[in-house]
Structure 1
Amino acid sequence: MKAPALEQVLVIAAPATGGDPGTSYCLTYTGSGSGEQREAVLLSDTPAYRCTDILVSPDGLDTDVWQSGVPVCQTPARLAAFAFAPDTEWSGGEGLYSCLVRNHGA
């Protein structure tokens, strides 16, 4: 069985929430990146119409969307690995993983 594709996201701007599990998160892509890594802005508690992808927990429930290990995402969610630019408050830590779902409406 083939392992699921792993999307790589470099977060160039992030909110100052510090990963609070009670916060909803989404991504807006900048259109830039290098290699297979896409650059994105991480948004928190933002109206869905401003988001390209929404971060969801692996189990699809309202639990923490951030994982320190590689989760198994439920379809239609996609697996993503996150790195944080040095000038974000989230930089310097271990890499994080989450599941992404494409936003198809407001």
Structure 2
Amino acid sequence: MTYKTPDGPADCKPKADVCVVGAPWHAADIDGLCGGPAPLQSIHVIAQPATGGDPGATYCLAWTGSSDGAGKDATLLMNAAGYQCGAYLVGTDGQVINADGTSVFSDTPQYCEGDYPGTRMTYPGVLDFPNEGGAQPPTYVCVAENAGA
């Protein structure tokens, strides 16, 4: 089967490559091909800015490369330069700041189609804050992988 990136050339890729969370490959019925929407991904925030939740700020994740098998570790950055970001926190529409002025953070799981429907580039995530010792509840977001990082 042939797949393509949203704005790039067509190529042949194995189904496993197309269905992995964060993959840029496009398929018309990706949910049918992959057995449903992208699953919720756990992200352990090991460092975060002093202030958070400002709806007028952009947020992104700098991946640390570490994982405990149940989720990936990341540093949460606010208003950071794009080269520092492995992924952005976005609204369900894929925008880094919600059009209605609300925060991209939620207390309920999100459906995350984003700017690139038919791909796995945007997916639902849940942020946990292990350094807070459970004092901060999990926060649900939509994560958009940075294809240029």
Structure (1 or 2) with the larger CA radius of gyration: 2
Question: Does the 8 A contact of 1:13 with 1:85 survive in 2?
Answer: no
In proportion to residue count, which structure has more strand? 1
Q: 1:84 aligns with which of 115, 126, 129?
A: 129
Structure number with higher relative contact order (C-alpha < 8 Å, ≥ 6 residues apart): 1
| Cα offset, 1:65, TM superposition | 1.1
The alpha carbon displacement at 1:4 in A equals 2.9
CA contact (8 A) 2:94 2:144 kept: no
Q: Given the two structures, how large is their TM-score scaled by the length of structure 2?
A: 0.62
Root mean square deviation of aligned Cα: 2.0
Identical-residue share of aligned pairs (%): 35
State whether residues 26 and 52 of structure 1, in contact with CA within 8 Å, keep that contact through their aligned partners in structure 2: yes
User: What residue number does 2:7 align with?
Assistant: none
1:49-93 C-alpha deviation (Å, 9 max, x unpaired): 1110011011334322101001111134111111012259xx612
Report how many residues are paired: 104
2:48–2:77 contact (8 Å) kept in structure 1: yes
- Measured after TM superposition, the shift of residue 3 of structure 1 is 4.8
If each structure's helix is expressed as a fraction of its own residues, which one has the higher value? 2
Quote the Cα distance in structure 2 between the aligned partners of 1:45 and 1:80.
19
Within 5 Å, which residues of 2 pair with 1:1-106? Answer: 2-61=36-95, 62-63=97-98, 64-74=103-113, 75=117, 76-87=121-132, 92-105=135-148
TM-score by length of 1: 0.85
Which stretches of structure 1, 4 residues or more, deviate above 6 A after TM superposition?
none
